[in-house]
Structure 1
C-alpha cells in the first residue's frame, strides 16, 4: 500500500485520464479510476497493479447520472486516503451552435460543468480541513478562443478556467493546490465521439506528451498550465492585463462614452 495520497481520476478508461493513471502509478500512488466503461477500467487496473505494484480501485460511473455522480462524491468525501482529484471527464461538441440539440446541450453542461464542479465541491472541504490536497481541472485552450467555433464546449471550458482561478484564491491559503490544465488539440477518443476525424486536424499533440507536460506544471505548483504555449509571457501578459482591469471596472458611474449626449 502506498504512503502517498491516493489519486481519483475521472474519465480514466482512455486518453488523458488513462495516461494520468499510468503516470501516477509509476510515481507510486494508489488509484481510484472512474469512467463508464468498466471492462476497460478493469483492464487498465489489472495492468497497473502488475506493472507498478499499486492498489487500484475501479468505480464505474456515468457522471451525467445523478446516482452515479452522488456515489463518486461520497467516495471523495469519505475516503481520507484520496489526496488528489483529477477532474478529467468531459465531452466535445460536434457542429456549431445552430446544430446543437437540447439533449446534447444538457449533456455537455452536465459533464463538463456540473459534474466537475460537484466533485471539486465534494472534496474541497476535507482538503481544506487537512491543509493539503490537490484539485486538477482539465479545461481547454478553446475556453479563451471563441474563434475556434465550439461555442458551448468553449463556454464550459471557460467555466473550468474561471472556477479554477476562483478556487485557487479560496483554497491556496488553506494549503490546497488547484491547477487548470488547458490542452489544445490532443490525440484522444473525444474527437471520434464527437464525430470529428482527428486526422483532419493540424498540430495535434500526443496524449503522453500532454500529460507529462501537465505534470511538470503540477510539480511546479502552477495554477494554469498550457502545454502547447511556447511563449509563457503571453499568458502572463494577458493575466496581468486582466488584473489591471479590475481597478477600472470598480466604478460608481458609467464611462463617459456611455453617457447621453446633450
Structure 2
C-alpha cells in the first residue's frame, strides 16, 4: 500500500491521470489524499470530480474554497464566472449526485496512524488539534444537513468574520472555520485573517502581515500539516512540519504529489493542449 497526498487539482484531469500513472497508482490498495480545490480554473472539472468519486474509499479529499463555491453555484446562490470553466460540470446529468457526494467530504482529515493532518489552506495558530477537529466537524455536520444551503453556504461569503473567540455564536464559528481552513494565507499581527494579499512572502510589501505558518502553532509542534491553496508559495515553506502542495497546475505550472512512505515529491508539468 502506498499513500499519496496531492495538491490543488482544479480541473486539471489529464495532469492528474498522468501523475498517478507515473507512480502506478492502484486504487485497490493505494490511497490518494486530496488537499481540496478539486474543481474550477482547469478545463476538465467534470472529469476530475467523476474520477475522484469513482475511487471510492481510496480517495480521501478535503474541501477547498472552490469546492464550496461549486455548492453555491449549484444551489443558485451565486452565478458562475466564465474563468471558472464549470459550465460542463454544472450542466452534467449527474450534477446532483456529484454535489451530494462533494458536500459529504470533510474540511479536515487526520491520518489514522501517523501524526499527519490535512486541510485546504492550513490551521490557524490559535487552534490546537482538538479545536481544529471539533470546528471542522461542526462544518461537516452543517454540510451534511438537507438545509446546508440556508444553514451555511448562503452566509459564508463574508470577510467580516476574521477573528476567533470561544464565545462566538455557532453560525459565526462555522463561517470562521470555513474562512480559516479554506481561505487563509496571511494574518495580521493580532491574528486576524487577511483576505486580500495573495503574494508570496518574499514579494509582500506589507510588513503588518505575516504568513499564517510564521506564527507559533500548537498543531505544527505535534503534527505534519498538509495544505494547498496558496499557489504563489510553489511548495516552498521553511518549516519541516509543513507540506505545501499547491504548485499552480491550473496556472501553467505543475501538480505535486507527496509519497508519504518514501517522503518523495513527484511532479507533473501542465500538459499542452493538442
Q: So what's the TM-score if we normalise by structure 1? A: 0.32
Report the structure, 1 or 2, having the larger helix content.
1
State which structure, 1 or 2, has the greater radius of gyration over its C-alpha atoms: 1
Q: So what's the TM-score if we normalise by structure 2? A: 0.31
Using CA pairs under 8 Å that are at least 6 residues apart, name the structure with larger relative contact order, 1 or 2. 2
